[in-house]
Structure 1
Amino acid sequence: MAKPYVIGIDMGGTNTAFGIVDARGNVIASDSIKTVKHADINDYIDELHTEITRVITANDAAGKIQGIGIGAPNANYYTGIIEDAPNLPWKGPIPFANMISEKFGIPCIITNDANAAAIGEMTYGAARGMKDFIMITLGTGVGSGIVINGQMVYGHDGFAGELGHVIVKRTNGRVCGCGRTGCLEAYCSATGVARTAREFLEIRDDESKLRNYDIESITSKDVYDCAIAGDKLAKEIFDYTGTILGEALADFTAFSSPEAFVLFGGLTKSGDLIMNPIKEAYEKNVLGIYKGKTKIMLSEMKESDAAILGASALGWEVKDTD
């Protein structure tokens, strides 16, 4: 007999969120720890185990967990291994699913964090009922989860769907965290927006409220605040970012003809500042046969819930341990 709960873990480059989820998709309780706090992966797992156990005990869920699902950068669904994730503090292949399963004594399945968000969106959010859509996560990096004919696309090796590492600038492209140059992630992530701000401030002499900030510590939130206050240069940074992303989405449409792109993550809180240039660039560049067929929409999930719920859905895939 299946147990009533699963654990969903969303490992981000900065924070790791986790929650207890029931069969209806209700997050019974959730919390988080700092991903970057520990230089040693074992210390990180120890803290994660301590905090999740605390939440399980506080919610009378001990012995009632069917499985653990995890969404993490560069996580391979087939092997359970996190392989050289550029935004995590630990390098090399990490057999994370096995490490967590052994620590908790509960079966565990892992997938890419953006795939987990897509599963959550398909089950509980804006993509309910859709069989063909692409999830784009705009956070510290740019992630993606591709669903075709109702199935998550993993590819033959488990790593399909790294659209954040499609090259969008062939000449003088920025160095990306992956080590290559010109990747979409280097331009359209939150860190990409901050990099654009620094570049614009260095090569131009426009007046801007952004010049009141320390140039080396400017964040995408700073750019947003200035844009909302009417700063022309800040608005131009969002136009530049949205245009690059819209052009990329137009290219992505050609290989799967999605019903929708669902955008998720901190950068989407910029609203029309980012969405308008995305949609304009998309419509301008998409192949004619696709025009007017694909929606570009925002996630309907709470900031942390999509990935937690998506990851938790993997927990139901494990066989009953009794």
Structure 2
Amino acid sequence: MSQQLVVGIDIGGTNTKFGVVDRRGNILCDGRMLTNQHEDVNGFLDELHEHLSGLIEQAGGMEHIKGIGVGAPNGNYYTGNIEYAPNLRWKGIVPLASLLEQKFGLPTVLTNDANAAALGELIYGAARGMKDFIVITLGTGVGSGIVANGQLIYGHDGFAGELGHCIVIPDGRPHPGTGALGSLEAYASATGVTASALEFLATRPDTPSTMREHSKEEINSKLIYEAAMQGDPLAREVYEFTGKILGAALANFVMFSSPEAIILFGGLTKAGDLIMKPVREHMEKNLLPIFQNKVKLLFSELKESDAAILGASALAWEMKE
């Protein structure tokens, strides 16, 4: 009997999303679980197996599943390993593809989570028909997938495209996972935005903010977003500051690969123009004239939960029979 379905899994620093997908890119059923609840990868796999087994049965049974595609932080397409992911609790090298193969008895292929999101955009989303584009994922971390001449860029070792770890402010804010000083992820991720808000609350006592009514522990990217949408001056300054740093970084990325578009994806994009306006302004301001006003800056057209699942599933469809 011919296989008709694949499983797509998106492992993020906070949440893991998964779904059963058909050839047309329809997610027939899906679910999610917390990634960071499990210190040991085997506990994570046990819970994932429990969730997915139910979904696979719902979709018609294991005999219909061709394989599993996975997007994960520091996922290496060549080895099938997650290697030294700063945003995951599992340290060192985790042979995730082979562990999943053992658990499910299905062929499994793995790539970087942002590469999976880029594949999702290429096949189903805003990058359809494009040969040169960059996807930037703005979530717990900052990921990126780079497509040039119609090909995902993996590099010689499988780790090309870690734009979130580029240094944007020399000797700047320490990254809690890598220890690097001044990386883009330390500023433009959800955790970076929270760190900026806490800094601003401490160093700008005269700027009014409803966030001052909350304890440090209560302040997170969701609270900052809600405050900004209600016109909170300090929360809006945080977005302006974040957009300035991200925009300058995107200018560097444009001058490296001259993409047709940069597609922003993930939780921070919910802020809309609050983030997009300063990003666009500072990207254009930092570009050489030959690059100015040429690059489309877009939000993902896919549902936040869908892009990486669909991209991961595309990997599974590409596997040889």
Q: What interval of TM-score do these two structures reach, taking the shorter chain for normalisation?
A: over 0.9
2:279 is aligned with 1:278: yes
Match of 1:224 in 2: 225
Deviates more, 1:214-223 or 1:194-203: 214-223
The aligned counterpart of 1:192 is 192
Paired position in structure 1 for 2:238: 237
* 1:239-290 C-alpha deviation (Å, 9 max, x unpaired): 0000100000001011110000000000000001000000010111111101
**Deviates further, 56-65 or 160-169:** 56-65
Aligned ranges 1:293-312 → 2 under 5 Å? 293-312=294-313
What's 1:12 paired with? Answer: 12
Letter in 1 for 2:291: Y
Q: How big is each residue's C-alpha offset from its partner over 1:161-192, in whole Å with a ceiling of 9 and x where there is no partner? A: 00000000103433342221100000000111
Q: Corresponding residue for 1:171?
A: 171
Q: Distance in 2 between matches of 1:137 and 1:164?
A: 9
- 2:63 is paired with a residue whose SS is coil
Correspondence list, 1:284-295, <5 A = 284-295=285-296
Q: Contact 2:174/2:182 (CA < 8 Å) preserved in 1?
A: yes
Deviation at residue 2 of structure 1 after TM alignment? 4.5
* Residue of structure 2 in register with 1:148 after alignment: 148
The answer (yes or no) to whether the contact 1:17–1:31 under 8 Å persists in 2 is yes
Can you give the 5+ residue segments of structure 2 that lack an aligned partner in the other structure?
Answer: none
Aligned AA for 1:129?
A: G
Distance 1:58 1:172, change over 3 A: closer
Shift of 1:46: 1.4
Aligned to 2:320: 319
Q: Deviations over 1:95-114 (max 9, x none)?
A: 00011011111100000000
What is the match of residue 267 of structure 1?
Answer: 268
**What is the distance in 1 between the residues matched to 2:219 and 2:122?**
35
Which residue pairs with 2:44 in the alignment? 44
1:35 offset after TM fit, Å?
Answer: 1.1
Distance 1:86 1:44 in 2: 17
List per-residue Cα deviations over 1:281-303 (Å, max 9, x = no partner): 01111111011110001000001
Counterpart CA distance in 1 for 2:232 and 2:18 is 38
TM-score (norm: length of structure 1): 0.97
CA distance in 2, matches of 1:220, 1:177: 18
The answer as to 2:187 corresponding to 1:203 is no
Name the structure 1 match of 2:116.
Answer: 116
How far residue 225 of structure 1 moved from its aligned partner, in angstroms, is 1.4
Aligned residues of 2:172 and 2:183 also touching (Cα < 8 A): no
User: What is the SS of the residue equivalent to 1:37?
Assistant: coil
- Asked whether the 8 Å contact 1:198–1:216 carries over to 2, the reply is no
DSSP-derived class of the 1:288 partner: coil
CA distance, structure 1, for counterparts of residue 173 and residue 19 of structure 2: 39
Is the 1:134–1:146 contact (alpha carbons within 8 Å) kept by the matching residues of 2? yes
Contact conserved, 2:10 with 2:16, CA < 8 A, in 1?
A: yes
SS in 1 for 2:62: coil
Paired letter, 1:181: L
Shift of residue 217, structure 1, vs aligned partner: 3.0
Q: State whether residues 5 and 61 of structure 1, in contact with CA within 8 Å, keep that contact through their aligned partners in structure 2.
A: no
Unaligned ranges ≥5, structure 1: none
CA shift in 2, pair 1:153/1:2, >3 Å: farther
Tell me if the contact between 2:175 and 2:185 (Cα under 8 Å) persists in the aligned partners: no
Deviation at 1:319, TM superposition (A): 2.2
SS at match of 1:36: coil
2:136 paired residue number: 136
- Aligned to 2:290, the other structure's residue is in SS state helix
Q: How does 1:23-62 map to 2 (within 5 A)?
A: 23-62=23-62
Distance 1:150 1:272 in 2: 30
Considering only aligned residues, what root-mean-square deviation do their CA atoms show, in Å? 1.1
**CA distance in 1 between partners of 2:297 and 2:223 (Å):** 25
Measure the CA separation in 2 of the matches of 1:216 and 1:171. 26
**Counterpart-to-counterpart distance in 1, 2:177 and 2:202:** 22
Give aligned-pair identity as a percent: 59
Preserved contact between residue 144 and residue 161 of structure 1 (Cα < 8 Å): yes
Match of 1:126 in 2: 126
Code of the aligned partner of 1:131: K
- Paired with 1:122 and 1:106, the residues of 2 have a C-alpha distance of 25
